[in-house]
Every structure is written in C-alpha cells, then in structure tokens.
Structure 1
Amino acid sequence: MSPEIWVALSVGAAFLQNLRSALQKSLSGRVGVLGATYARFLFAAPLAVLLAAVLAAGAGGVPGIGLAFPLWALVGGAGQIAGQMLLLQVFAMRNFAVGNAFARTETIQAALLGALLLGDWLGPLSWGGVAISVAGVLLLSARNGWRGGILNRAAGVGIASGTAFALSGVSYRAAALALEGDGGFLLRAAFALACVTVAQTLFMTLWMRWRQPGAVGAVLRAWRLAVPVGAVGMLASLGWFTAFTLAPAAEVKAVGQVEILFSLLTARL
C-alpha cells in the first residue's frame, strides 16, 4: 500500500477534525460541553451506519468479527469520548490554538502505547518525527513562559486528553485489524467506525439522561448547528479509522499534527 494514501487521509482528517472542533465550540455555547460532545456522536451514527451498509453490500457482506474486536472497539470508543470532553474543557480555559496544542502530546503517547499493546515499534525516522512534533507543542505552550504555559491545570487536562486520544487511536487500529475477511481496508474502517459510533451514541444518551435530563432535547432542538458537527465529525473519523488501518497510530497522529496549523488559522478568523 502506497504511504501517500494514509498520509493524505491523515491530513484530510486533521483538517476536518479542526473544523468539527470549531463547530462544536460554537454549539457548546447553546447546549453546553456535554451537549456538544453528544451531538458529535448522535448525528454521526446514522451516517456511519449508512456508509458501512453501502460498502458491505458492495463487498458481499460484513467482515467477520473476531473475539478481540468488541474489546478494542469499546476501549477506543470510551477513550475518544473522554478525550473529546477533556479537550472541550481545555478550550474553555485557554484560547483555541494553545488548548488544542496541549492535547497533541497524544503522538508520543500513542507511540509508546502502540509499542506496548500492539508491537508497533517505530523506526528512527518515525521517532524523530514524533520528537519534533512534541517539541513544537512545548514551544507553543511556552509563549507565556514555561511555568505559565506548562505547569497549570489547563496543561494537565490537555495532556490527559492526549492520553485518552492516544489509547483511542491505538485501540481503533487494533479493532480494525481484528476484523476478518477480504472486504478491503475501507470496509474494515467503515464497519469499525459504525460499530463504535453506535455504541458511543447509546452510552452518551444514557449518560445525558442521567446527568442532564433536558440536554438531549436541547441538542435535538439545535439540530441546525448539530447536524454539521455530526457530519463533519463522521468524515474526520472515517479518515482517521482508514489511516489507522493502514499505518501505526503514532505515525498517523504525527502527520495529523498539521491540525495545529489549521487551529492557528481558525483562531485568527
């Protein structure tokens, strides 16, 4: 498989993820942090299921589900929800670009988790790229001084978000690779995405009913803002899932650091 495919997918996913985050930031002003996070899954799930169904019909059936798939899918889905909620909290503490940068430590964390959990050992060049990306995060966060930029609550929440996203990416790669059959990498990615997104939506619905009973209705009433969040989020996730199917999560996330440039541009708009 040509490396240009997963690289292009990673860049495209980073752009769409930044756009989705900007849309969520606007939506959170109306429905709150939990509501904005919920909308991202609620309106993405039907689109993800539809895409997987179309691809499965073209391939003659769904992939075979190995025993490891449900476990990895659940871990990845939980990590993504936690990471997204933490990231939205960071945005409320700091400006958009710096808050996003704190979470980008997920790259080196994904490299370590990928090696430990999946045996995805990176080569010297890949480790060099990871080191450069982390150095860039530290330099960006130090704009107000090392103590003000690094040693504060926003940085801690951002790093925790990165840990959750790193575990999520590694788990999604493991889930896609656990699927059986010859349907191709796109079907594997789309099927895994559909399963994960449906599970996330069910979990978030129960969580919202418990913590904020009126929030589900508020999200549904704000559908004009929420539908774009779900649609863009689904496309971004499809890009990530497909790239994870083709390459180690750390390499995908290292390329995805281009999202920082997109977030800087967004902050200036």
Structure 2
Amino acid sequence: MEVWIWIPITFLAAFMQAARTAGQKHLTKDFSAVGASYVRFLWGLPFALGYLYFLKERGDHELPDAEWQFFVFATLTGLSQIAATILLVYLFSLRNFAIGSTYARTEALLTAVVGAVVFHEALSGGGWFAVGLGALGVVIINLARTGTGAGSGADDTLLRRLFQPAAGVGLAAGLGFAGASLFLRQASLALGLDDWLYGAALTLALVLVIQTAIMSVYILFRARDQIAAMVPNWRGCLFVGITSVIGSAGWFTAMTLERAAYVKALGQVELLFTLALSVLFFKERSTPKELFGMLLIAGSIIVLLLYG
C-alpha cells in the first residue's frame, strides 16, 4: 500500500495548504506577516502533539533513540519553513492571492533542482525540461502583472519587470519551502522507523516545537500586540492551526514515503485549489496571460511527474 498511498495523502495536503493560506490571507487584515505566520505554528502545535500521542498509543511505541542528524535536519526544516511562510504572507501585499501563490509554488521545481545538486537525486532530461517550462510560466505571469506598452517610460525595461520585488520574494519563498521539504524528508528517514505514520508525526511535532519556540521569543520581545490580536480572531486562528497541521502531516507523511521532488510535483494540484478559493472567497480574477502562465507551470509539473 505504501507504494501508492502517498498520492491521495498529497492531494489532501495540497487542499489543506490552499485552505490554510487563504485563512492566513484573511488574518493579514489584523496581523503582520510575522504574526500571521506565528498563528500557523502556535495554533497548530496542540493538534500535532495530539496526533503524535494518538499514534504512539495506537502502536504502543516508545520514543526512539534518534541520531543527531534527525535534530539537525528537523531544525533546518523549521527555520526554512519560518522564513518561507513569512515571505509568502508578505507576498500578499505585493500581488493578488492566486498570482502570489503561483510565484511561491515554484518550490516544486526548486525542490527538484536542489535535491539533484545537494542530495544527488538526479533529474532526467524530462525533469530539466520541466524546470525550464515552469520558469517560463513564472516569467509570463510576471510580465502580465507588470504590463507592457504605453506609459511605461524609458526605465520600465524588460529586466526591471522580470526582477520586480514580487518575483524575488515569491522565488525566495519557494526556495525556502523547497529546502524545508528536502530537510524534513532527511529528518524523517534519519529515524529509521518502520511505522511511517509515527515517524512523520514525530518529525512534525519536533519541527513545530522548534518553530513555535523561535517565533514566541520574537513575538514576546518585538510584537506582543500580535498575541492580543488573537483573542477577537480566535476562529480564524483555529482554522489556520487545524488546516496547517493536517496539511503538514500530509506533506511529512508523503515525503517519508516518496522523494520530495515527486511529492511537490503532484502537490501542484494546489494551484487549482488556490484559483478556486481566490474566485469564490476573494472575488479575484486572473487575466488570460496569467492563466496561460499557470497552465505552463501545471504542465511542467505533469512532465516532471511522468518523465522526471
């Protein structure tokens, strides 16, 4: 069953991630980028610990004697995800929900590239073609959002449009998520447990503890007003916490079973969920050029999955 079960788990994780991101966008009305990111970790931690306890009791597990690699990779996972989440939330102020998420979703392609270079998970010719196709999709979306033509002025060059802040922030967020994906897989595999559900849950719990601790120190000393903002927004915070931990549990489990590049490739179905949420809840619209760019990115993911 483990051979294919990662596929429906990835679909669930992608849907929950789209829902959580939409919830965080809603929270940005009352929270800063850091505060909205903190909500994800703080409100998700109790559910992650409860999930771990359930699996521990169900399987009558003892806590394993983990090697140092587990803690190193778990810490790197937490730090990468914190940085990427803050960048993603900040991205909402630069571009609309669907386009901003598309920029950040280059993580699937970046995961494949970094995985090949750092962890020696080589790509085939089809895999590299997918990387190029996805990059082209990002460029088309970026050009569509910045516009061309009359009134642009002499300084409004192609190079300037390609490297506007939204593109850089989105790609940086994607790189952060890519690193987190690769690190978490290494952390989970370092445990060497036969029960992949329990191993993934243990990794998730430790990562969330690290993330919550780091973010709590910052919030307490630099942004205490973000804690007060949680009281009137507790429903939104609860929604973000629940969807976040379900999505993270899905990603962690799938990546314990399959290589991160393939999981993230299939996870690009989140693009469809994101578009649906942006239309239904945020009343946003995308132009034909933007949709074409999104289709190119989705196509690149299919190529990566089938021929990578």
CA–CA distance in structure 1, aligned partners of residues 94 and 111 of structure 2: 25
**Contact 2:2-2:257 at 8 Å conserved across structures:** no
Which residue in 2 is equivalent to 1:176? 188
1:151 partnered with 2:167: no
Which residue in 2 is equivalent to 1:188? 199
- Could you say what the CA RMSD is over the residues aligned between the two structures, in angstroms? 2.0
CA–CA distance in structure 2, aligned partners of residues 254 and 177 of structure 1: 20
Residues 54 and 130 of structure 1: is their aligned pair in 2 closer, same or farther, counting only changes over 3 Å?
A: farther
Residues 82 and 201 of structure 1: is their aligned pair in 2 closer, same or farther, counting only changes over 3 Å?
A: same
CA–CA distance in structure 2, aligned partners of residues 148 and 263 of structure 1: 27
After superposition, the C-alpha distances for 1:169-198 in whole angstroms (9 at most, x for unaligned) are 00000000001333x111111110011111
Aligned amino acid, residue 217 of structure 2? L
The normalised TM-score by structure 2 is 0.81
Q: How does 1:48-197 map to 2 (within 5 A)?
A: 48-61=48-61, 62-144=63-145, 145=147, 150-182=162-194, 184-197=195-208
Aligned amino acid, residue 251 of structure 1? Y
After superposition, the C-alpha distances for 1:56-102 in whole angstroms (9 at most, x for unaligned) are 12222234312100100010111111101001111111111111111
Q: Which runs of 5+ in 1 are unaligned?
A: none
Give the paired residue count: 268
**Contact 1:205-1:216 at 8 Å conserved across structures:** no
CA–CA distance in structure 2, aligned partners of residues 115 and 126 of structure 1: 10
CA–CA distance in structure 1, aligned partners of residues 188 and 79 of structure 2: 16
Aligned amino acid, residue 71 of structure 1? V
CA–CA distance in structure 1, aligned partners of residues 160 and 275 of structure 2: 20
**Contact 1:175-1:192 at 8 Å conserved across structures:** yes
Which residue in 1 is equivalent to 2:289? none
CA–CA distance in structure 1, aligned partners of residues 52 and 119 of structure 2: 25
Q: Which has the larger radius of gyration?
A: 2
Q: Which runs of 5+ in 2 are unaligned?
A: 148-157, 281-308
The normalised TM-score by structure 1 is 0.92
Percent identical residues: 38
Residues 178 and 46 of structure 1: is their aligned pair in 2 closer, same or farther, counting only changes over 3 Å?
A: same
Aligned amino acid, residue 193 of structure 2? G
Matched residue SS, 1:266: helix
Aligned amino acid, residue 43 of structure 1? W
What is the aligned counterpart of 1:235 among 237, 242, 246?
Answer: 246
Higher mean alpha-carbon deviation, 215-224 vs 34-43, is at 215-224
CA–CA distance in structure 2, aligned partners of residues 64 and 53 of structure 1: 17
CA–CA distance in structure 1, aligned partners of residues 185 and 251 of structure 2: 9
Matched residue SS, 1:170: helix
Question: How far 1:236 moved relative to its partner?
Answer: 0.5
Residues 263 and 43 of structure 1: is their aligned pair in 2 closer, same or farther, counting only changes over 3 Å?
A: same
After superposition, the C-alpha distances for 1:108-148 in whole angstroms (9 at most, x for unaligned) are 22112222333323445555555544444343333245667
